[in-house]
A = this chain, B = another copy of it.
């Protein structure tokens, strides 16, 4: 598992419409949008754009503006769109608490932005969490009281909370 990068989320934002770096940055800063989900620095955003372009998932073109500095507007390529949809439909998403908080919320948001039904996204996430939950329960039964047990027990509690929250997600899909 590689670390948590906004690559696919950016692909999703660009799938909705072509944008330049600064616009994307605002999407990630506004609490109305992804501000509570991601915390990106300027340089990280531009570094990701460079990487995505190098990988052929997006292409940029220089756009001169009358009342602002020149900007580079990026749009999705076919390759990028393919990667985006693989990510959205990931059948076995991570059940890590952190990844749920970031990746799953991003998937929900992007699906909404693209007017794609999110129910399979939610279902996959719930199934992954449930599987992990049952595995942890089984492990906890083998373990004696100690730091080990506490860590497992906390993890299990976190997953229980996630499962209840996901159930609420399913009846109130993300808007905005």
Contacts and interface: CB of A to CB of B under 8 A. Distances in A.
Interface size class of A (residues with CB under 8 A): 35 or more
Given A97-B97, A144-B176, A161-B161, 20 more contacts: A33-B147, A35-B148, A36-B148, A36-B151, A97-B98, A97-B158, A98-B98, A101-B158, A105-B151, A105-B154, A108-B147, A109-B147, A146-B175, A148-B176, A150-B174, A154-B162, A157-B164, A158-B158, A158-B161, A158-B162
Interface of A: 31-37, 97-98, 100-101, 105, 108-109, 112, 144-148, 150-155, 157-158, 160-162, 164-165, 168-169, 172, 174-176
Contact of A165 (B145, B154, B165): B154
Contacts of A150: 105, 108, 169, 174
A16 B33 CA distance: 48
Contacts of A98: 97-98
Contacts of A155: 36, 101
